[in-house]
Structure 1
């Protein structure tokens, strides 16, 4: 853990960090006969989002998610209909928050941290996924990588948040259950806090930045971030 210093802002990843991605599994069980294919699809979705950014291209996350679903089905010799793709979008847009999220966010907000989100998903009309999950109002701002046409972990995504809020990257702690997100944030100059959701682990290898904080859930994060509380005005 780094030496305690005031951090003003916690930036939260949304999909799987706050919202429960496992609620998408019934679609994969029905289409593929195996709910575990969801993990393969999601890993490919992240891979191709990052490949597009590295190639200087951008496709909206929802369209990419549907395309990767079709690609995964083709690779497995399975037919996917337009209705299946529509169901995927509906399920992603209606994922519930994990049980620890709301009380954890309240504890972090009450501790004086500013809370914002940064998601790979494009902005959506109300009711948004976070509104449906009942946690949208706990955040001060919501940001999407669509505003810079680059996916996380590109440095521009984290810099956009800092610029919009008028703060330094060193004032930010990125909170995510994906190590690639905390690696990107730390490399840009932020702190990184890793939430150990199921099927997500840290990577131990030479020159791979380890998270500044590893927490089991948001309640644990709130306890560990105590020494980093913002200075009182």
Structure 2
């Protein structure tokens, strides 16, 4: 296989963001799903706005701001207990069922996480998870203060890997992440967990799959 390095997005690709709904449901049982969805939407929106405006703030701060906005919009209140509980849940997200088994089977390539998350979010999350022993390197954009999908973020990841673009397969469930990585020059695998079609844009993924099991098939060829 031509890829010596696999780069994985963390949130929504290896880790299931919907798992925060359990924590939110302790306070808002009827609105946990809608809060979680708006939380993620605002989190991405705030990161993109920070990138485009040149006003970088760490992802931990942006994530809390987004949660407060989602709680206010959906419930009319951003109670401190609910905010704290939601943020703690972000450090203990569930892995998708196939994440650990797939990484365990693939002992050949270098496994890297490349995330917008800051290290104070990523490291506790990964350390408590079943993929900890299978991740060779964690790359946070916080090291260079440039959010994905900026080309600087992907260049930083490539430099950290120490290999050429052609040796890297970039894996994400986020369409904007795939577009950014593909535009930069990586081969890409889009994980379409909701079984939807990709965006109608020129930068299309090289591979599309419903989950990470596709990797074992790809690397078996």
TM-score (norm 2): 0.90
- Using CA pairs under 8 Å that are at least 6 residues apart, name the structure with larger relative contact order, 1 or 2: 1
| CA separation of 1:218 and 1:203: change in aligned 2, threshold 3 A | closer
Q: List per-residue Cα deviations over 1:63-84 (Å, max 9, x = no partner).
A: 1111112222333451112222
The 8 Å contact of residues 107 and 219 in structure 1, kept in 2 or not, is answered as no
Matches of 1:77 and 1:84, distance apart in 2:
11
- Taking the TM superposition and a 5 Å limit, the aligned residue runs for 1:65-84 are 65-76=63-74, 78-84=76-82
**What runs of 5+ residues in structure 1 fail to find an aligned partner?**
228-233
CA separation in 2, counterparts of 1:201 and 1:17?
15
Task: List, as ranges, runs of 4+ consecutive aligned residues in structure 1 with deviation greater than 4 Å.
Answer: none
CA RMSD of aligned residues (A): 2.1
Q: Within 2, Cα distance between the matches of 1:73 and 1:129? A: 23
1:70-111 deviation digits (Å, cap 9, x = unpaired)? 2223334511122222111110100121110111112222xx
1:10 aligns with 2:9: no
Measured against aligned partners, the alpha-carbon deviations of 1:34-88 in whole angstroms (never above 9, x if no partner) come to: 2331112201211110111111121111211111122223334511122222111
- Spell out, residue by residue over 1:134-163, the C-alpha distance to the aligned partner (whole angstroms, 9 max, x if none): 211101111111011111111111111111
How many Å apart are 1:32 and its aligned residue?
A: 7.4
Residue aligned with 2:97, SS: coil
Aligned residues between the structures: 219
Cα drift, residue 126 of structure 1:
9.5
Name the CA shift for 1:192/1:132 in 2 (closer, same or farther; >3 Å): same
Deviations 1:165-185 (A, max 9, x none): 221222211111111111110
**In structure 2, C-alpha distance between the alignment counterparts of 1:51 and 1:220, rounded to whole Å:** 33
Change in Cα spacing, 1:126 to 1:202, as seen in structure 2 (3 Å) is closer
- Give the match's secondary structure for 1:31: coil
Equivalent-residue separation in structure 1 for 2:30 and 2:181 (angstroms): 37
Displacement of 1:16 in angstroms is 1.6
Contact kept? 1:179, 1:203, Cα under 8 Å: yes
Between the aligned partners of 1:52 and 1:92, the Cα distance in structure 2 is 21
1:131 aligns with 2:127: yes
Residue 169 of structure 1 pairs with residue 165 of structure 2: yes
Name the counterpart of 2:61. Answer: 63
How far apart in 2 are the matches of 1:224 and 1:104?
A: 12
Matched, 1:201 2:199: no
Q: Map of 1:16-55 to 2, 5 A cutoff?
A: 16-29=12-25, 30-31=27-28, 33-37=30-34, 38-55=36-53
